[in-house]
Chain A
Amino acid sequence: DAGITQSPRHKVTETGTPVTLRCHQTENHRYMYWYRQDPGHGLRLIHYSYGVKDTDKGEVSDGYSVSRSKTEDFLLTLESATSSQTSVYFCAISEIQGDEKLFFGSGTQLSVL
């Protein structure tokens, strides 16, 4: 499997607090993604990156921001967490443009109370 790790694996936080999730890869892949997974919705793209400091919005980006200062790290920040952001968050990487052959991290279960 591709070398990709997410931290933390689980987090419980309160409404209104900021939260940062980290994705770290050792594969030197150019493309990195953040998805959220919710019952009945499958996997939905939040933000993605196509290089250092190059990021763009996905279909459910409201309330989220990202940063990529190094090839290996992609951070997802919830500026002010809301209960609707309770979800499982997956980071993914790909070396091919067009989102081919995505390799996913193990996920972060986030609960916003």
Chain B
Amino acid sequence: GENVEQHPSTLSVQEGDSAVIKCTYSDSASNYFPWYKQELGKRPQLIIDIRSNVGEKKDQRIAVTLNKTAKHFSLHITETQPEDSAVYFCAATISGGYQKVTFGIGTKLQVIP
């Protein structure tokens, strides 16, 4: 089955700096890679996703990159703000398939004002 590794497990950055979270996956058939953000005590929420036919996707201050050859993908947050503080989960699955999505263990991001 799929195995998703995520690092770092914790990350502290100064407000205004950039943050990068990296994930690797094992199944070359995976083609859909979502990222979820979970604020303290709240539900995980989808913030951005990328498919394997795209190398990069941006949405305001967040961006995801995908390297299919190396089987890794990353979340980039620029100009971090205190409200970016949360746990971020990467995941991988096969779009439209019967494979279940596999999550990374999460990265706790702290943005220091």
- A residues bordering B, Cβ < 8 Å? 40-45, 48, 58-59, 90, 96-107
Contact = CB atoms under 8 A, between A and B. Distances in A.
A108 to B, nearest CB: 11
B103 A42 contact: yes
Contacts of A59: 100
Of A58, A97, A101, A102, most buried by chain B (CB within 10 Å of CB) is: A102
Interface of B: 6, 32, 34, 36, 42-46, 49, 89, 93-101, 103-106
B95 A101 contact: no
Given A90-B44, A98-B99, A105-B43, A41 B105 contact: yes
Contact of B100 (A41, A58, A90, A96): A58
A101 B43 contact: no
B100 A42 contact: no
A100 B34 contact: yes
A97 B98 contact: yes
Given A90-B43, A90-B44, A98 B103 contact: no
Contacts of B103: 42-44
B89 A43 contact: yes
Contacts of A105: 43
A42 B36 CA distance: 11
A44 B89 CA distance: 12
Given A42-B106, A45-B100, A48-B100, A98 B44 contact: no
A106 B89 CA distance: 17
